[in-house]
Amino acid sequence: MQQNNGLDKSQIISFAVLCLVLFGFMFYFQNKQSKEDAVKAQQQKTEQAKNTVKQTQASNINPNVTPNAIQTANLSNKELKVEFASLGGQVSKVELAEYKAYDHKTDNADLPLYLITKNNSNYGFQFKDKTGKVINTKDLVFAPTVNGNAVTMTANYNGAVIQFIYTLLPKYTLDFKVRTQGLAKITADNKADFIWDYNVRNLEKGRAQEQSHSEFSYAFNNYKDYDYDGRTTMEEDKETLNWIGVKQQFFASVIESKTGFTQSKGNQETVEEGEYLKKLNYEGFVQMTGSELNQDFTWYFMPLDLPLLKSYDKNFDEILPLGWSFIGWMNRGFFIPIYNFIASWGLTAGWAIFLLTILVKLILSPIMYKQHKLSAMMRVIRPEIDEVNAKFKDADPMKKQQATMEVYRKAGVNQMAGCLPALVQIPIFYALFRFFPNFIDLRGKGFWFAKDLTAYDDLIKLPFKVPFLGDHLSIFAIACTIVILIYTVMTSGNMQQPQQEGMPNMKVLMYIFPITFLFFLNTSASGLSWYYFVSNAINILIILVIKYLILDEKKIHAQIQANKEKPKAEGKFQKRMREMMEKAQEQQNVQQQQRKKK
């Protein structure tokens, strides 16, 4: 029997030592980072004591209106702080009071979280007067009046009165009513053009990741259907949109129309660097009755928290990109509830992910057992496979393949069974790829040296940028790559190498894969890297336990010999493969005979 290509006892000890080194490496950098954070915090306090707060002036959007003439009004509750500007009568500032934004200067989430500020959002209703002149409410000057939790913005235009009535409500909601009187005297339009320009502000650490999650979101068909667009021009000229929103990684700004937006279109432009991630422009029409604009709208400036989104009953939960179909179901029905249940025990986010990983491994353990039993059977029959390869070395490849399959069939080995674990883990991987960077409960939750498990850890900073890698190295990503390499070494020992010239060496490809994984994980959520580090470390332990404590290769060899003595029923898949090979062999023989005749 050929010698086992798995790890021996000395290699097991090496693996254990390596794990200890990795954990020691992590703890070292954790302590180093804690000291650096303390120094940064002290420096920040000193700077705050020296600097005075500067008042920000509104920019002069309308050249006919001076900054001093722009008035503001404010409303606030425990969730939102909203400012309204007299120019355009629009929302000029929105702060989510219970959340903080990431500060690239301090490497901490310690800034006020503004979805709207510094004129990054600009909207208004546009129509034509009877002379054909285009009028947009964003250019008009409104007078604000505050009454409790409501602000009424009033503007006059050629005798017509336009009022925007805003009422701040719970659950991140701002009621928005538009009322006009006398507008019919100056316009004959039966619909108004709603134009909204929005620049997405950078609020998170991972710029590229947040940028990829910034996009248009909208619902139609009486809130039943949902769609999004993150890369192309948006055109919905046939649908009536119930709401249109700009989604970011963890937050969204949404406006709902009670009668809907028609003939909607939009475009977007990616911003490579600076304060903003994307520029989005939207245009849609709302109905006017008798040339008067009396419509009800609602603004939502909300975190993408799944229970909150569901509570609105407006299909907002679709904004959260947890994956389509079965992928989304796994996140909504399994990963989120299980994580919340484990976290309710009072554990930190990192250890909750650790236990979640163990639970997933326990669920998949029967499949893994079958996989490693198949691997053991392949090791046992390897000498016979090598004999077939040697016997048919110079023969037709089809005959060699048929002989190889006959060995597998007699031994009772189903090669396709080894593909099952890989197929099962593909949807799990994609579900977690969606889960970690979009689950708001993990936002800002640190673990060891990773300050935010929804972003990458960049404790090791590089003095230059590496293509596809960035200007840092993630320790979690490096640790994950190392354990994947170890796992690859342990599972590739029995892989049959291609006998034909020009065929790729599968072992080499398997070793390249973990390296490419490093490039992917280095800028991904550190929670994902931590999950896969633990997952693959457990895989290695499971292999060692199965190999040395559970599976007995002598018994497996005896079982295979017994299988050979029994008349073996041919499975459907094996029958189809045999028939296909026989047919291919016949065609090849016919072609050879025709060549000889010529």
Instruction: Based on the fold, state whether residues 313 and 338 are members of the same structural domain.
Output: no
The two tokens of residue 165 are 């009535």
State both tokens at 276: 């903003």
| pLDDT value of residue 141 | 92
- State the burial class of residue 477 (Cβ atoms within 10 Å of its Cβ: 0-12, 13-18, 19+): buried
Is 55 within a domain?
no
Non-local (6+) Cβ contacts of 391 within 8 A are 403
Q: Do 493 and 576 have their domain in common?
A: yes
Let me know whether 180 and 210 are in one domain. yes
Rounded to an integer, what distance in angstroms lies between the CA atom of residue 180 and that of residue 172? Answer: 26
d(CA 44, CA 125): 44
Do 336 and 260 share a structural domain? no
pLDDT for position 178: 93
* 573, 420 Cβ separation under 8 angstroms: no
Q: Do 530 and 413 lie in a common domain?
A: yes
327 found inside a domain: no
Beta strands 160-169; 150-157: pairing state:
antiparallel
Residues 426 and 281 in one domain: no
Kindly tell me the burial class for residue 132, based on how many C-beta atoms sit within 10 Å of its own C-beta (0-12, 13-18, 19 or more): exposed
Q: What is the DSSP letter of 223?
A: T
126 assigned to some structural domain = yes
Report pLDDT for 240. Answer: 92
Q: What pLDDT score does 456 carry?
A: 81
User: Are residues 385 and 499 located together in one domain of the fold?
Assistant: yes
CA 493 remoteness from chain centre: 34
Return the structure tokens found at 122.
């600009």
What SS3 state is found at 302? strand
* Together in a domain, 305 and 375: no
**pLDDT at residue 486, rounded to an integer:** 82
Number of independent structural domains in the chain = 2
Report yes or no on 595 lying in a domain.
no
How far apart are alpha carbons 285 and 264 in whole angstroms? 7
> Tens of pLDDT along 282-314?
999 999 888 889 999 999 999 999 999 999 999
- At 239, the amino acid letter reads E
Report the CATH number at residue 213.
2.70.98.90
Which amino acid would we find at residue 221? Answer: N
Structure tokens belonging to residue 594: 């025709």
* Phi, psi (rounded to 5 degrees) for 163: -125, 135
Q: Note whether residue 11 is domain-resident.
A: no
Question: Is 111 in contact with 178 (CB distance < 8 Å)?
Answer: no
Residues 6 or more apart from 252 whose CB is under 8 A from it? 217, 245, 246, 300, 301, 302, 304, 316, 319
Terminal CA-CA length for the chain = 48
Q: Is 238 helix (H, G, I), strand (E, B) or coil?
A: coil
Do 440 and 313 belong to one domain? Answer: no
CA distances from 233 to 210, 260, 266, 437, 554 (A): 19, 20, 6, 25, 64
H runs (alpha helix) in 148-286 = 207-212
Q: Which of 321, 344, 367 is the last residue of a domain?
A: 321
Instruction: Quote the pTM value.
Output: 0.74
**Does residue 192 lie within any of the structural domains?**
yes
Q: Does 522 fall in a domain?
A: yes
Where among 254, 289, 321 does a domain terminate? 321
Q: Output the CA angle 487-492-496, nearest 5 degrees.
A: 170
Domain enclosing residue 305, as ranges: 69-321
Report the run of H or E that residue 258 belongs to, with start and end.
strand 251-270
387: its two tokens: 């004999």
Domain C-terminal end among 290, 321, 352: 321
Give φ, ψ of 188 to 5 degrees. Answer: -115, 10
Q: Do 537 and 464 lie in a common domain?
A: yes
Residue 476 and residue 574 in one domain: yes
What pLDDT score does 68 carry? 53
Q: Which residues of the chain have pLDDT under 50?
A: 1-15, 17-18, 21-23, 25-34, 36-41, 44-65, 496, 498-504
407 and 552 part of one domain: yes
Q: pLDDT for 120-164, tens place per residue? A: 999 999 988 888 888 899 999 999 999 999 999 999 988 889 999
Give me the pLDDT at residue 303, please.
95
Residue 355: predicted pLDDT: 92
| Residue 43 domain-assigned (yes or no) | no
